[in-house]
Structure 1
Amino acid sequence: MALFKFFWSLRAPCGFLHQAKRYLASPIASHYEAINRGEKEVPEYFNFASDVMDKWTELEKEGKNPQRTVFWWVNNQKEEVKWSYEDLGVLSRKAANVLSGPCGLQRGDRVLMVLPRIPEWWLLVLACTRAGIVFIPGTSQLTAKDIAYRLQASKAKCIVVSETLAPGVDSIASECKSLRTKLLVSDRGRDGWLNFKDLLQAAPANHNCVKTKSDDPLAIYFTSGTTGSPKMVAHSHCSYGIGLLIFGSHCLKLSPSSVIWTISDPGWVKAAWSCVFAPLIHGACVFIHHLPEFEPTLVLNTLASYPITNFCAPPTGFRMLVQVDLTRYKFMSLKQCVTGGEPLNPEVYECWKKQTGLELYEGYGQTETVLVCSTLEGMKIKPGSMGKPAVQYDVQIIDDQGNVLPPGKEGDIAIRIKPKRPFCLFTQYVDDPEKTAASERGDFYSTGDRAFKDEDGYFWFVGRSDDLINSAGYRIGPFEVESALQEHPAVAESAVVSSPDPARGEVVKAFVVLSPAFSSHDPEKLIKELQDHVKKTTAPYKYPRKIEFVPELPKTPSGKIQRAVLKKKEWGKI
């Protein structure tokens, strides 16, 4: 923390909020908006660090933009970190020198970053961008087994974690043949690890940004599927660096006067969307609260205490917030509230608006995309609808043969990729050409989400076309949970499906056939034991919140478990 305070002390106080209001539009954002609209071609070379971050710094130095806070981090101990573009530039160059120096990483190498909401995560994302290194975010809830899989699948040469996860990494490091460097973000050292804070302080501040092509890889995200282990989704430098601009301007309504707070774990794509690329290209201030967990009163107090103008949280978060008497809070600065990641209940929208007077705008996208649909300011809000397509995409509802369906007909949400693939769509499922090919249907990329379009062009979410579970914005593949359950001696067979839940939308439910030796065990104790087992075996958010013991599972004549039968049974109980 001392190093961060040192850099902040170098800056003159400027009262950034009222000064920035004079700058209603970002000249940098305006330049790249034409690319998103198809009015200009994507440049051959692009790097967010040099073409966006450093350009903002130049504007500050030329007096064309006031030097101000664009990164603002706080915690429950009242500690703060505030950085300008210049601060981020200096620190990210130093971090890039750490990666390419002591860590021994080169352009194209991959780094697995599993960190909580701490400032170092932002520095390392920008440092990787500068050095042409591919960053792979992961949530801090990952277990040692999850981390081992990701290291092995990605062939990452470096891993960055905080002190909490270091012992788990040490326990599996010998299984990961590509791993060369372990980088620790901590105030204390650890044998076998490089200490990022110490190296950052000693690193030089001069670094020549790598000249990356627009389609060079920038990031890889692991996303759950209905079969097999999580898949790797690759995005390019222009995909996020340019493609998320429209999300920032049209959905989040960002400008240099904005202070945006997005509640997202750094392991999820929403952090890259709303906490890095969209706000920083618009000159907005990224506000981060180091929340250990979502606590409604703390969230509301923060919204009331800081000059936050834009707030983004998943529908589950808003469902929790509206349970509190919101009329007790005054949000003096709050103007734009956005949600996404799962369907929004119309009742939550109405309750939020009634108690706060603020509209709640919904957006839709995937790990594989940038913003696909949203309700924009000025549009009529239809509660429960995800809105209309973003300008970069031709979005349609298609049938199983790839034919476009008329309004009112349910089908798969799809993005046109022929004759030209949108630059902001993911490039591929890494090392999985079969899955990449399977995601294409005729002239379209099929999202796997079901919806219909009304006569006014609004899209309405129906559900997944496969068995993927979306619980409170977390995408959970049934295979991962079934595999974890199968490791327990009490489980002979299991099938995992979604089950309706008033708070989370849907939760994981496991139907379990017990091994004969456990058939007489206390059911309640066994449920708790199986839940704890899954929490320890894989990321805790995947554990089955509901478990039902059954004598057998429905199967096809060939022996395949029919999850659809179980899911229909669950959702028929609503």
Structure 2
Amino acid sequence: METHNMMDYDQEYAAFKWEVPEYFNFTRDVVDKWAADPDKLAMLWVDDDGNEVRKTFAGFSRAARRTANVLKAQGVKKGDVIVLLLPRLIEWWEINLAAILMGAVISPGTTQLTPKDLKFRFDAAEAVCVITDNENAPKVDEVIGECPTVKSRIMVGESREGWLDLRAATAGASEEFETVPTRSDENAILYFTSGTTGYPKMTVHTHVSFPLGHLITGKYWLDLRPEDLHWNLSDTGWAKAAWSSLFGPWNMGAALFVHHSPRFNTKKTLELLQQYPITTLCGAPTNYRMLVLEDLKQYKFPTLRHCVGAGEPLNPEVIETWKEATGIIIRDGYGQTESVLICGTFPCLEPRFGSMGKPSPGFDLQVVDDEGKILPPGQEGDIAVRVKPERPVGLFKEYWKNPEKTAGVYRGDWYITGDRAYKDEDGYFWFVGRSDDVILAAGYRIGPFEVESALLEHDAVAESAVVSSPDELRGEVVKAFVILAPGYQPSDELVKELQDYVKKVTAPYKYPRKIEFVDSLPKTVSGKIRRIELREKEWAGKR
């Protein structure tokens, strides 16, 4: 009999209570607790050249204090914002823990940001310090003259003029550091989240909303224990790294498997899963969609017991293929940069492929209408989290310096996620799409995801993105951008074949009236398809 951290969903959901101390510091209260066992493994880090580093919680605890002393000497104080742009180097974790120790606010970003993006972030967040590597330092130097708040530039890697060498500085730093008292409601993490319009918003999390809130993610959804070795495929620049590469696993005392590599390589990923004792895997649907194109029969994953996917809904077809090859069902989960996991297919739940699962313990999650009234099963509406009378722990504090945007996401007693779904008779949630990605064709509402899933089931399709396209007759129609699988060539015959296939698999009105074959799709850092970019191109000059 398998034992999970949640054996009975209804019982666990009913009994769960958040307990929030007045002061909380993740580095001191969680990492140092695991560090009491000097041998307890926290990370197994590997790179593409076969280098391996094993690091204990005790090692991280000491490194965090050395790093905090270096930052303090650089003038970083409690409440100051540090912009962190690093690939999967061990320092990324050490800096996060150091910032928490000293009460500074960490703002992680992806290494794909441009100089213009960086200037926007430095100014908007009034950042005092930036930490990056040799690859990204020139981008910072390009704009630093126009960013008066940034007083300190710190480099991980080679030395560079005007930059402090972090490795050299921490080598000589003291391991004594008095933890700064951090109240539960004080700011700790700042994410820039791209909306559908305008510049990114600054999403602020407190010392508990992510660090403590992700107990839900780590315990119930990732289902982790201290003996696990957990691999999350996410980039460090995305909130998913905080979810599944930091707070979720370390709350549970699980060790992280980290593969430092410039790009996602399917063969290498499968080889590593076979080679190392990895027990749990977390990836974006894009990762799994790529993995199932490989010949999975060639690989054995002896230690793997649990897989999850998040970022966008998982296509049933992909779940089936992965299950056939590995015996494991990829369990979907739903949350945002603004939240921890708020809905998921927990291991004790009977999965319904294509569904987001059921609400997380600690969250009253509902589908509501425009007035904030709870809708009955089968009716589509807004996914909403109840915030009154009590606000759940795992929810962001605010959009920083933007009271209008913050006020705009509340409706009565609810936080409105901006995503649409319906609930079935048994309480499972089914994702329809972003409230702004939904296609309205000839009076029908069509969620792009369903059409994409149908296309994916066809052997010729490796990946697809579906958006609305202007049409004289119908107002708008469904258009699919399709990346073909190896061995297939674009043709009019194939267009017709794909259209007929979608008609057969979903309701006929949902089929893509237009299909364009492409080599790549625009994506966010986290691997989500940027449908908005495709949609705007389609509609340019029309609206």
Q: Aligned partners of 1:90 and 1:247: how far apart in 2?
A: 26
Unaligned 5+ segments in structure 2 are 6-11, 440-447, 457-461, 471-518
Q: Which residue number in structure 1 is paired with residue 170 of structure 2?
A: 200
Shift of residue 543 of structure 1? 11
**Contact 1:222–1:232, Cα closer than 8 Å, also in 2:** yes
Cα gap change, 1:418 to 1:56, in 2 (>3 Å)? same
Q: Which residue number in structure 2 is paired with residue 68 of structure 1?
A: 40
Q: Aligned partners of 1:365 and 1:449: how far apart in 2?
A: 10
Alignment-mate amino acid for residue 381 of structure 1: P
Shift of residue 281 of structure 1? 1.4
**Contact 1:372–1:389, Cα closer than 8 Å, also in 2:** yes
**Contact 1:36–1:243, Cα closer than 8 Å, also in 2:** no
Shift of residue 261 of structure 1? 0.3
Q: Which residue number in structure 2 is paired with residue 482 of structure 1?
A: none
Cα gap change, 1:390 to 1:189, in 2 (>3 Å)? same
Cα gap change, 1:72 to 1:94, in 2 (>3 Å)? same
Q: Which residue number in structure 2 is paired with residue 117 of structure 1?
A: 88
**Contact 2:229–2:257, Cα closer than 8 Å, also in 1:** yes
Q: Which residue number in structure 1 is paired with residue 459 of structure 2?
A: none
2:125 is aligned with 1:154:
yes
Shift of residue 337 of structure 1? 0.5
Alignment-mate amino acid for residue 74 of structure 1: V
Q: Aligned partners of 1:315 and 1:291: how far apart in 2?
A: 19
Residue number among 341, 346, 349 corresponding to 1:376 in the alignment: 346
**Contact 1:107–1:133, Cα closer than 8 Å, also in 2:** yes
**Contact 2:13–2:360, Cα closer than 8 Å, also in 1:** no
Cα gap change, 1:359 to 1:113, in 2 (>3 Å)? same
Alignment-mate amino acid for residue 465 of structure 1: S
Q: Which residue number in structure 2 is paired with residue 88 of structure 1?
A: 60
Q: Aligned partners of 2:408 and 2:433: how far apart in 1?
A: 19
Q: Which residue number in structure 2 is paired with residue 55 of structure 1?
A: 33
2:397 is aligned with 1:427:
yes
The TM-score normalised by the length of structure 1 is 0.77
The number of residue pairs the alignment matches comes to 467
Q: Which residue number in structure 1 is paired with residue 319 of structure 2?
A: 349
Shift of residue 222 of structure 1? 0.4
Shift of residue 364 of structure 1? 0.4
Alignment-mate amino acid for residue 147 of structure 1: L
**Contact 2:196–2:532, Cα closer than 8 Å, also in 1:** no
Q: Which residue number in structure 1 is paired with residue 20 of structure 2?
A: 42
Alignment-mate amino acid for residue 58 of structure 2: E
Please give the per-residue CA displacement for 1:48-88, whole angstroms capped at 9, x wherever unaligned: 01111112222x16xxxxx2321111001111121111101
Q: Which residue number in structure 1 is paired with residue 105 of structure 2?
A: 134
Q: Which residue number in structure 2 is paired with residue 480 of structure 1?
A: none
**Contact 1:260–1:308, Cα closer than 8 Å, also in 2:** yes
Q: Aligned partners of 2:71 and 2:401: how far apart in 1?
A: 25
**Contact 2:153–2:164, Cα closer than 8 Å, also in 1:** yes
Shift of residue 143 of structure 1? 0.7
User: Aligned Cα RMSD in Å?
Assistant: 2.9
Q: Secondary structure at the match of 1:240?
A: coil
Q: Which residue number in structure 1 is paired with residue 542 of structure 2?
A: 554
Q: Which residue number in structure 2 is paired with residue 569 of structure 1?
A: none
Residue number among 314, 335, 339 corresponding to 1:365 in the alignment: 335
Please give the per-residue CA displacement for 1:505-537, whole angstroms capped at 9, x wherever unaligned: 5379999xxxxxxxxxxxxxxxxxxx99x99xx
Shift of residue 550 of structure 1? 7.6
Q: Aligned partners of 1:40 and 1:359: how far apart in 2?
A: 29
Q: Which residue number in structure 1 is paired with residue 236 of structure 2?
A: 266
Q: Aligned partners of 1:427 and 1:296: how far apart in 2?
A: 37
1:206-225 equivalences under 5 Å are: 206-225=176-195
Q: Aligned partners of 1:240 and 1:277: how far apart in 2?
A: 7
Q: Aligned partners of 1:52 and 1:540: how far apart in 2?
A: 31
Q: Which residue number in structure 1 is paired with residue 115 of structure 2?
A: 144
Shift of residue 105 of structure 1? 0.4
Residue number among 136, 153, 173 corresponding to 1:165 in the alignment: 136
Shift of residue 181 of structure 1? 0.6
Q: Aligned partners of 1:468 and 1:99: how far apart in 2?
A: 46
Please give the per-residue CA displacement for 1:8-44, whole angstroms capped at 9, x wherever unaligned: xxxxxxxxxxxxxxx998xxxxxxxx99965464110
2:379 is aligned with 1:409:
yes
Residue number among 205, 209, 214 corresponding to 1:235 in the alignment: 205
Q: Secondary structure at the match of 2:396?
A: coil
Alignment-mate amino acid for residue 228 of structure 2: S
The TM-score normalised by the length of structure 2 is 0.81
Alignment-mate amino acid for residue 86 of structure 1: A
**Contact 1:261–1:308, Cα closer than 8 Å, also in 2:** yes
Q: Secondary structure at the match of 1:354?
A: helix
Q: Aligned partners of 2:161 and 2:466: how far apart in 1?
A: 40
Q: Which residue number in structure 2 is paired with residue 565 of structure 1?
A: none
Q: Which residue number in structure 2 is paired with residue 177 of structure 1?
A: 148
**Contact 2:465–2:531, Cα closer than 8 Å, also in 1:** no
Alignment-mate amino acid for residue 84 of structure 1: T
**Contact 2:437–2:532, Cα closer than 8 Å, also in 1:** no
Q: Aligned partners of 2:539 and 2:353: how far apart in 1?
A: 42
Residue number among 59, 67, 72 corresponding to 1:100 in the alignment: 72
Q: Aligned partners of 2:536 and 2:367: how far apart in 1?
A: 36
Cα gap change, 1:88 to 1:24, in 2 (>3 Å)? farther
Q: Secondary structure at the match of 1:243?
A: coil
Q: Aligned partners of 2:423 and 2:362: how far apart in 1?
A: 18
**Contact 2:312–2:528, Cα closer than 8 Å, also in 1:** no
Identical positions, percent:
45
Q: Which residue number in structure 1 is paired with residue 444 of structure 2?
A: none
Residue number among 461, 465, 478 corresponding to 1:506 in the alignment: 465
Question: Which of 402-411 and 77-86 deviates more?
Answer: 77-86
Unaligned 5+ segments in structure 1 are 1-22, 26-33, 62-66, 470-496, 512-530, 556-574
Cα gap change, 1:405 to 1:548, in 2 (>3 Å)? closer
Residue number among 428, 440, 446 corresponding to 2:410 in the alignment: 440
**Contact 2:285–2:312, Cα closer than 8 Å, also in 1:** yes
Alignment-mate amino acid for residue 75 of structure 1: D
Cα gap change, 1:542 to 1:412, in 2 (>3 Å)? closer
Please give the per-residue CA displacement for 1:110-164, whole angstroms capped at 9, x wherever unaligned: 0000111111100000010111010000001111111111111110000111101
Please give the per-residue CA displacement for 1:247-282, whole angstroms capped at 9, x wherever unaligned: 111111100110000001101011111111111111
Q: Aligned partners of 1:166 and 1:440: how far apart in 2?
A: 39
**Contact 2:79–2:103, Cα closer than 8 Å, also in 1:** yes
